[in-house]
Structure 1
Amino acid sequence: MSAATTAPAADAWQALKQELLAIMPAERLIDDPLRTLTYGTDASFYRLIPKLVVRPADEDELMAVLAGCRQRGLPVTFRAAGTSLSGQAVTDSVLIQLREGWRGHEILDNGRGIRLQPGVIGARANQLLAPFGRKIGPDPASINSCMVGGIAANNASGMCCGTAQNSYRTVRDMRVILADGTRLDTADPASCAAFRRSHAELVEGLERLSAETRANSALAEKIRHKYRLKNTTGYALNSLVDFDDGIEILKHLMIGSEGTLGFISTITYDTVIDEPHKAAALVFLPDMATTCRATIALKPAPVSAVELMDRAALRSVENKPGMPEGLKRLPEGAAALLIDVRGNGEAELQARLEAVQAIFEGIHTLEPVTFTQEKSLYELYWKIRKGLFPAVGAVRDTGTTVIIEDVAFPIERLDEGVLALTEAFHRHGYPEAILFGHALEGNLHFVFPQGFEKPGEVERYQALMDEVAQLVGVEYGGSLKAEHGTGRNMAPYVELEWGPEAYALMWRIKALFDPENLLNPDVILSRNPTLHLENLKPLPAADPIVDKCIECGFCEHVCPSRDLTLTPRQRIVAAREMARLEALGASLAGEEAERLERLRRDYRYAGDETCAVDGLCATQCPVGINTGELIREMRRERLAPHADMARRVGRHFSGTTRLARGMLNLAGAGRAVLGEKGLSKVSGAITQVSGGKVPQWIPTLPKAASIRVLKRKPAANGVHDKVVYFPSCATRVFGAGHGDSENRSIMEITLSLLEKAGFEVIVPEMPGHLCCGMAFQSKGQFEEATHKARELNRELLVASQNGRYPILSDTSPCVLHMQGRLDERLTVQEPVAFAHDHLLPRLDITPLDERVAVHVTCSSTHMGLGERMVALARACAREVVVPAEITCCGFAGDKGLITPELNASALKGLAEQVRGCDAGYSNSRTCEIGLSLHGGIPYRSILSLLDRASRKRKEAGETA
């Protein structure tokens, strides 16, 4: 009996943890209820909770984990981003999760190759290759979130890559760690030679399987036929007919093996050309038959992608902001093709567009076929396509999950297959299912909501899947899994699709690599015929703010706490589990009651205190969920007893800001007397004694600002253009940094710029008392936040003469908070937008001979100002650096002082990327404090850069 079928001893995982503590820190060995639940959740509709989550930092640590698991017979599963949809990244044993230490990369051959560690996000790889006009071949819809390890392990393809540019076709080399801990580098001849000696049985076994398969003409032809289609069902048997060398076979078998044969620690891709000239058309056709015929006609055409969407799919997104109005007017039965055409030059693109247009001369379309090269419209078309799967999830009933399956038909039978699938959905009671997919490959995704709680629902789902498997895999000779991986939900059907002979071959492959069946057992191959119906994920109601979340994980890569505690998806997972347990009420007892209490206790820090509530998750979420709103609501409930204190602070806000400036002056005096080390030590002790209520002093905490500058008389410049200037409370408190050559406060800089550009400045009455309310809102004090917003609204209406003059606020997050909260007559300008649109045209610019860094704040991202911010910096400096993968800085108002580890984690790697820069620039004073600390260079307002690079134009002020 194999180790995987013999239950490990109950304390085996604890014994493994104790052993691993000798080589890695405790924070990377996780077994508490909160994090095993949340880290163990992926995008599939299965739920298994690991006993132990391990985060090895390098190959040696990973090999030690594998050795410990092998010694104790513990199954182990590898996890990258967890965006997989088929249940291949969940386990109830040991989960190896890739985080820091697995994001290395190296450009090879002037961009013709790239070596990547498995923790690199796919979009980051393409960002690295962009200067060379290249990209990696695979382009899954989740490329902004999924990691290279998952892309390779699932042989993910996508919109444009087809079968010619997937990982199987574009892999050059890889480093592999096998179940027994052996390391193989296929790019290293010495490593290959040593492996052939040490693992002769494996290498010769693979070569023997290859010879047997190629000699079996019927089986070999079946394999070749199957891989003319997109196919990720089972192991890559095409490696046995494509290669006869054991190392090459091993390398290609690893692609799509879903962590069941070994671990890919590094992969080298041959890259492909990223044609820079792109155009797209959204073509509407009267029915599915016409749509499929058009697809077949487009197969030999010079197109990059053809994406099919049925009427139900289009209906799921037609009411979303920005969608074309024509979507709502489409008749029932209509369908659409999103056609993407690319070229290396404009002439080549136009020639290809003409060829595609010629194909449609004989095809009836509902509207003229019109291609666009306009970036915003081009991106909108692809946004429609990429948002289809989550859009269905957003409209499902609370408590149900969403199922996505991924099949491929021979393209010549695509129209028959679509009709047969549609009939099957209706026959089994799934009329709401939508169809879309990569039409050129005959690859279709079908998506539908599914509940498993009510009697008969599991049986109904099983009946549908049985029919779909028979229909696609047998009757049409297609693929049951075209690109999402076999996982758990198709493992029981692998033999049905491939037949007994090929299926037996796959088990022989598994036995050669993993004889003890410890690597991700039951994924791809399983003896359990009902595996796909077990361990189904519950999605109970938790809060209307997040109930539509399908746990896809698209949000995770922008979250500042992703490497510290929890991500938005994980916060939602935990909130749902707590809601589920709370719903049990009086029946909850014993271990489950203790577990709920532990979840609540741990969530306070991991879910709440380390959440920056920046809302960046909403910018990546296909259904716009802002998990920060959930956390703010939790804070509101928890801090309700402190509402009186918030009210007192708000009613005496001038005194509060004066106190804050006094504390900064006191800290400055302490710094002069004690020095930085001494002050840090004293401050740390005070913070600890206060239980974290007194903020921790940090070296980049600036001087106090002086608000007297707001009372100065503006220079008479004879102009009539006026602007209301509202300095935020942060800029009224925090002045210039200690030792920074820019020794002016933001208020001084702003007034200097406005005067230079010919504006007459109006400062509202009581500027020291005013606040937009964001500081209260972020802490869940909604009533006082509303009160402060109303106060500000009243004063700004007076100052602007009921909106006659524009209003400039100098802090981006405050402007974002004001939007939608102030009178619609008021036009509040953010500093980057105002500087780019209104100050630049009025000033003479001489770019500084400096290399500068730019941090695009989360609020700027929300407002779509990233490009303007970079353009403004480029107008003012010789070279501009925008650090990669640095999103929200995590300072989050006062989090950088109360929970400094959040700021530190969010900005890890910043200093390396900005090394050699003269200074950094942003548009939020508090963010700049944390950026200065962790970047190692002074960060200032971007208005300072513009002021330093500009001078007054002679004609300034003569025109509006």
Structure 2
Amino acid sequence: MTTGELLDPALDPAPGADVAADVAGRLRRAGLEVRDDAGTRAMYSSDASLYRIPPLAVVRPRDADEVAAALAVARATGTPITSRGAGTSVAGNAVGRGIVLDFSRHLGRVLSVDPDARTAVVEPGTVHAVLQRAVAPHGVRFGPDPSTHPRCTIGGMIGNNACGSRSLAYGRTSDNVAGLRLLTAAGDVVETGYDASGTPFARGADDVLAGVRSVMGAHLATARTELDRFGRQVSGYAAQHLLPERFDLTQALVGSEGTLGVITEATVRLVVDAPVRVVVVLGFDDIVAAGEAAPSVVEHGPTSCEGLDSRLLSVLRARRGEGAVPPLPRGTAWLFVELAGDERADVVDRAERLAAAGLGVDSLVVTDPLTQARLWRIREDGAGMAGRSPADRPAWPGWEDAAVPPHMLGSYLARFDELVTSYGMTSAPFGHFGDGCMHVRLDYPLDRPDGTAVLRAFLTDAARLVGEYGGSLSGEHGDGRARSELLPHMYSADAIAMFGGIKHAFDPTNLLNPGVLVDPDPVDADVRVAGSFPLARGGRTGLAMAYPHDDGDLAQAVHRCTGVGKCRADNSAAGGVMCPSYLATREEKDSTRGRARVLQEVVRGELAWSAPEVHDAMDLCLSCKGCASDCPTGIDMATYKSEVLHQTYRRRLRPRSHYTLGRLPFWARIAGLTPRLANLAVRLPLVGAVALWLAGVDRRRSVPAFARRPFRRSYVGPSAAARGGTPVVLWVDSFSDSFDPEVAAATVRVLEAAGYAPRLPDDRLCCGLTWITTGQLDAARKILGRTVASLADAARAGVPIVGLEPSCTGVLRSDALELVPGPDAEAVAASVRTLAELLTATPGWTAPDLSGTTLVAQPHCHHHAVMGWQADADLLAATGATVDRLSGCCGLAGNFGVEIGHYDVSVAVAGQQLLPALDAAPDALVLADGFSCRTQVADLRDRPAVHLAQLLDPAGPHAGDGA
């Protein structure tokens, strides 16, 4: 009996545990970095696919010798082994029951760059964007550019033969690989490449190569006629490259999905980018017309021809608002066409000729790079946004990557839409239309008892349809577990036998990524979202949050994570926040995706709320809400973390920081009675140190001083001159009131100067933010409920409610709908404004002239995620100030960076953008609306920072003391 059989719980669950311990022990004795805890196994149990297969153990090799050592253990124990990069595979290519090799942790270096030969040597875990940054100074780049380029790895691209949007210009990954170094299942080293004359070579494992040649000799006609019929035919093995007239093992191995060998090094070709790019957007009546027009577009020589339709844009607008989509030409479907060249006039002329060619109902030529970037972001986020179907149901991969000969695409799209409709499903197609490749996600009814049966039936019918068009089940994602069983609908029995012979020659014991391509697992096996979700054996009961966007179902909410892994990318270039803790630690458990995978185990009933693995995954979540806006699927990990803490500690003893930092407004109100005594107490050496420890505060943190006079105790209402102004409610949060009253005072002066008559709510209210972030949700609901009820009358009367602190403003705008849902909360959320939102919409208000002022602006994460910072950007632009707008989190994030155990990560997060920007501009004025952000700046760089109200204050940015 093999280890794979022992690990199958349906066969023998008890011995599987013994085998797992034995294999993990052998791996550790081999000196390998091994993770086999329940949390890690949950995180690596899925990629971006439908499938869930918990591995036995995860190994993170540091070099090729450690890869060989892992293979040796796998051989000795008969344990399957699967290679994994960023885990963004959508067909289930990167999950397996045995050992998973995670190359992204340590083996991600660019080893060398040869600008003259235009090649680079990389390790398999090298992130695409890292390679691009390394070679950019030489004026070259790696050609293929998948939408996941900020986080996908070169090894993963080789495994799937990825292409990306610009394959019309640069080809597939197989066209851009100049050599490979890999290990066979037997542990033999194989090197492939090309000699000086361009002739391919392969060295090592002579018996394997002889076996492959023998197999090919028996299937010559099939290899010459069934393969390589059009550019995006990547399903199965690329056996056409193994024909005796060339025998190019490099190209043959690309796209083999880790089933033939384990790559340890790759030499890739580099290209020179044309300096001028122009995008032409063509509008069409429908997606079929766009598909039919794509071949004519390609005749104009574009670098890219991407299609999408209004169904996808509707999802985007629902997620991010109308402003998320730049103006487009008329139509309900569009082609984004990129033309490139050396001379601007020539490229613009080509673009205008394409726009005037009459291929659609309307056209738009885009020369502005920023607008082009907005358009491409829509396309790049397509896979994530398509995670919600046009019917607002969860949508899944599985048939997301089919391709047909480009001249047949329009007809195929029409037939495909008919097929989807016949199953009662909806879809929003997009993809590489110039290549005939369509991406789509479908709302399979996986929550029904017959869900997997419907999945199997649909995939079978879809495979037949593609076969009818002479297409490929996969155009760049690989076949994986989603499509390998369906290959007979595309290939003859002889071709299937040929693939099996190649696999047997390389891997006779079926050790490498079994279940994929050859002897495949059923397409409906191991589906991770099938059936009902047994959240504590009750899917919608006992939850504190409402989850209105997920029909009240936490299971549906956490399964929004499609695994595209945008949380693993450096999102700073796109102005994003997500995910600061992952960027600081580079650990999967600290990514939004890793946390979502662990929570998926909770809703399955596999892990308890209080499980150490759950809290380990949640510990470094800053509750920044960056994922709520930056994740294209709409994950809101801050809300889920609050739920976890609530469920774990409800009616139980909590960590002491929950009683102190988690109830800070309560303690601040008491301290406000004797602020001098409170400030003195925390500054006395012994008393202060003990107080910090008791409060759960890291001793390296300074404690902001309480104001000598809280704002609420001194404010008497609008000035006489302002009393006839437009009424506005000033939401003075606990932080502004107790620690920074001058922010509130400056806001009053700014509002009065703009013609408003600000007033405070009648009651002393709190939004409950600190209770929410620490999961004290029963108390938070009462606190927030009182606040919402108090503000509701003003909201219904049309009186704006202006918030000062972004996190507290965000609670009224967002969290209130989760905790105290209803008409009052909806009215309040609709009335809440940031200061910038109010002022930029105020007729006649003019921004002050700040020409000559240099600002380093740190937007608060909740401001970015919940309200958006565009109004602030527009306002600052009107002042004439020079603004260095940062993205990313400051690292303090309320109570997070203050708590014991979080200091180092907090500083590391600040070191991503904030600290370098401060150090680079020592004389700049720091703008930070968030109290946490201002505290972090003061704590780590001893510099003052001002709120927007202080910057706009008629009395000057430093008016008043208020301490």
Residue range with higher mean Cα deviation, 79-88 or 695-704: 695-704
Look up the equivalent residue of 1:654 and give its one-letter code.
R
Deviation at 1:378, TM superposition (A): 7.2
Q: Does 1:614 align with 2:624?
A: yes
Identity of aligned residues (%): 20
Look up the equivalent residue of 1:670 and give its one-letter code.
P
Q: Which residue of 2 aligns with 1:368?
A: 362
Instruction: Tell me if the contact between 1:732 and 1:768 (Cα under 8 Å) persists in the aligned partners.
Output: no
Q: Out of 475, 482, 487, which is 2:475 matched to? A: 482
Q: Out of 620, 630, 637, which is 1:627 matched to? A: 637
Q: Within 2, Cα distance between the matches of 1:23 and 1:147?
A: 26
Instruction: Please state whether the residue corresponding to 1:407 is helix, strand or coil.
Output: coil
Instruction: Tell me if the contact between 1:808 and 1:831 (Cα under 8 Å) persists in the aligned partners.
Output: no
Instruction: Tell me if the contact between 1:103 and 1:118 (Cα under 8 Å) persists in the aligned partners.
Output: yes
Look up the equivalent residue of 1:355 and give its one-letter code.
R
Q: 1:890 to 1:94 in 2, by over 3 A?
A: farther
Q: Which residue of 2 aligns with 1:535?
A: 526
Deviation at 1:75, TM superposition (A): 0.8
Deviation at 1:460, TM superposition (A): 4.9
Look up the equivalent residue of 2:223 and give its one-letter code.
L
Deviations 1:729-777 (CA, angstroms, capped at 9, x unpaired): 446667xxxxxxxxxx89589969989x999999977999765542233
Instruction: Please state whether the residue corresponding to 2:175 is helix, strand or coil.
Output: helix
Look up the equivalent residue of 1:533 and give its one-letter code.
D
Q: 1:911 to 1:370 in 2, by over 3 A?
A: closer
Q: Which residue of 2 aligns with 1:234?
A: 236
Q: Does 1:774 align with 2:769?
A: yes
Instruction: Please state whether the residue corresponding to 1:408 is helix, strand or coil.
Output: coil
Deviation at 1:233, TM superposition (A): 0.9
TM-score normalised over the length of structure 1: 0.74
Q: Which residue of 1 aligns with 2:573?
A: none
Q: Out of 511, 517, 522, which is 1:518 matched to? A: 511
Which structure 2 residues correspond to residues 725-764 of structure 1 after superposition, within 5 A? 729-730=734-735, 747=742
Which structure 2 residues correspond to residues 496-895 of structure 1 after superposition, within 5 A? 497-524=490-517, 526-528=518-520, 531-539=522-530, 540-541=532-533, 542=539, 544=552, 546=554, 547=556, 549-554=559-564, 556-557=567-568, 558-562=578-582, 563=587, 565=589, 567-581=591-605, 596-597=607-608, 600-602=610-612, 605-606=615-616, 608-636=618-646, 641=651, 653-656=668-671, 665-670=680-685, 686=693, 694-708=695-709, 729-730=734-735, 747=742, 771-778=766-773, 779=775, 780=777, 781-786=779-784, 789=787, 809=804, 811-819=805-813, 822=828, 827-829=833-835, 841-845=848-852, 857=861, 859-865=863-869, 887-888=888-889, 891-895=892-896
Q: 1:794 to 1:522 in 2, by over 3 A?
A: closer
Q: Which residue of 2 aligns with 1:159?
A: 165
Residue range with higher mean Cα deviation, 601-610 or 103-112: 103-112
Deviations 1:786-805 (CA, angstroms, capped at 9, x unpaired): 257459969999xxx9969x
Instruction: Tell me if the contact between 2:384 and 2:562 (Cα under 8 Å) persists in the aligned partners.
Output: no
Q: 1:324 to 1:31 in 2, by over 3 A?
A: closer
Q: Within 1, Cα distance between the matches of 2:26 and 2:593?
A: 31
Q: 1:864 to 1:275 in 2, by over 3 A?
A: farther
Q: 1:146 to 1:782 in 2, by over 3 A?
A: farther
Q: 1:482 to 1:753 in 2, by over 3 A?
A: same
Instruction: Tell me if the contact between 1:297 and 1:359 (Cα under 8 Å) persists in the aligned partners.
Output: no
Q: Out of 128, 139, 143, which is 2:145 matched to? A: 139
Q: 1:447 to 1:945 in 2, by over 3 A?
A: closer
Q: Within 2, Cα distance between the matches of 1:315 and 1:242?
A: 51
Q: Within 2, Cα distance between the matches of 1:187 and 1:385?
A: 32
Instruction: Tell me if the contact between 2:329 and 2:364 (Cα under 8 Å) persists in the aligned partners.
Output: no
Q: Within 2, Cα distance between the matches of 1:479 and 1:127?
A: 33
Q: Which residue of 2 aligns with 1:273?
A: 273
Deviation at 1:520, TM superposition (A): 1.0
Instruction: Please state whether the residue corresponding to 1:404 is helix, strand or coil.
Output: coil
Q: Within 2, Cα distance between the matches of 1:777 and 1:7?
A: 41
Instruction: Please state whether the residue corresponding to 2:897 is helix, strand or coil.
Output: helix
Q: Within 1, Cα distance between the matches of 2:416 and 2:478?
A: 20
Deviation at 1:901, TM superposition (A): 3.7
Instruction: Number of aligned residue pairs: give it.
Output: 877
Residue range with higher mean Cα deviation, 382-391 or 699-708: 382-391
Q: Does 1:71 align with 2:76?
A: yes
Instruction: Tell me if the contact between 1:657 and 1:732 (Cα under 8 Å) persists in the aligned partners.
Output: no
Deviation at 1:480, TM superposition (A): 1.5
Q: Within 2, Cα distance between the matches of 1:151 and 1:458?
A: 29
Deviation at 1:895, TM superposition (A): 1.9
Q: Within 1, Cα distance between the matches of 2:955 and 2:192?
A: 60
Instruction: Please state whether the residue corresponding to 1:220 is helix, strand or coil.
Output: helix
Q: Does 1:409 align with 2:404?
A: yes
Q: Which residue of 2 aligns with 1:590?
A: none
Q: 1:477 to 1:878 in 2, by over 3 A?
A: same
Residue range with higher mean Cα deviation, 501-510 or 868-877: 868-877
Q: Within 2, Cα distance between the matches of 1:179 and 1:871?
A: 61
Q: Which residue of 1 aligns with 2:378?
A: 383
Deviation at 1:299, TM superposition (A): 2.3
Q: Does 1:926 align with 2:940?
A: no
Q: Does 1:18 align with 2:18?
A: no
Instruction: Tell me if the contact between 2:401 and 2:475 (Cα under 8 Å) persists in the aligned partners.
Output: yes
Q: Does 1:356 align with 2:354?
A: yes
Deviation at 1:16, TM superposition (A): 3.0
Q: Within 2, Cα distance between the matches of 1:794 and 1:2?
A: 66
Deviation at 1:538, TM superposition (A): 2.9
Instruction: Please state whether the residue corresponding to 1:341 is helix, strand or coil.
Output: strand
Q: Within 2, Cα distance between the matches of 1:746 and 1:276?
A: 52
Look up the equivalent residue of 1:43 and give its one-letter code.
A
Instruction: Please state whether the residue corresponding to 2:401 is helix, strand or coil.
Output: strand
Q: Which runs of 5+ in 2 are unaligned?
A: 9-14, 196-200, 534-538, 541-551, 569-577, 815-824
Q: Within 2, Cα distance between the matches of 1:268 and 1:606?
A: 38
Deviation at 1:230, TM superposition (A): 0.6
Q: Within 1, Cα distance between the matches of 2:27 and 2:936?
A: 34
Q: Within 1, Cα distance between the matches of 2:63 and 2:783?
A: 47
Q: Within 2, Cα distance between the matches of 1:85 and 1:298?
A: 29
Q: Does 1:469 align with 2:428?
A: no
Instruction: Tell me if the contact between 1:668 and 1:703 (Cα under 8 Å) persists in the aligned partners.
Output: no
Deviations 1:384-433 (CA, angstroms, capped at 9, x unpaired): 78547754644669799564342222223334434544555566x35645
Q: Does 1:337 align with 2:334?
A: yes
Residue range with higher mean Cα deviation, 439-448 or 767-776: 767-776
Q: Which residue of 1 aligns with 2:60?
A: 55
Q: 1:505 to 1:665 in 2, by over 3 A?
A: farther
Instruction: Please state whether the residue corresponding to 1:87 is helix, strand or coil.
Output: coil
Look up the equivalent residue of 2:509 and give its one-letter code.
E
Instruction: Please state whether the residue corresponding to 1:697 is helix, strand or coil.
Output: coil
Residue range with higher mean Cα deviation, 315-324 or 52-61: 315-324
TM-score normalised over the length of structure 2: 0.73
Q: Which runs of 5+ in 1 are unaligned?
A: 190-194, 582-594, 688-693, 735-744
Q: 1:556 to 1:763 in 2, by over 3 A?
A: same
Deviation at 1:269, TM superposition (A): 4.9
Which structure 2 residues correspond to residues 314-325 of structure 1 after superposition, within 5 A? 322=321
Q: 1:124 to 1:424 in 2, by over 3 A?
A: same
Look up the equivalent residue of 1:236 and give its one-letter code.
A
Instruction: Tell me if the contact between 1:3 and 1:516 (Cα under 8 Å) persists in the aligned partners.
Output: no
CA RMSD, 1 decimal: 5.8
Q: Within 2, Cα distance between the matches of 1:661 and 1:148?
A: 59
Q: 1:245 to 1:466 in 2, by over 3 A?
A: closer
Q: Which residue of 1 aligns with 2:284?
A: 284
Q: Within 1, Cα distance between the matches of 2:191 and 2:927?
A: 43
Q: Out of 25, 29, 33, which is 2:34 matched to? A: 29
Deviations 1:530-584 (CA, angstroms, capped at 9, x unpaired): 6223222235344535415343124532234542735444444444444444xxx
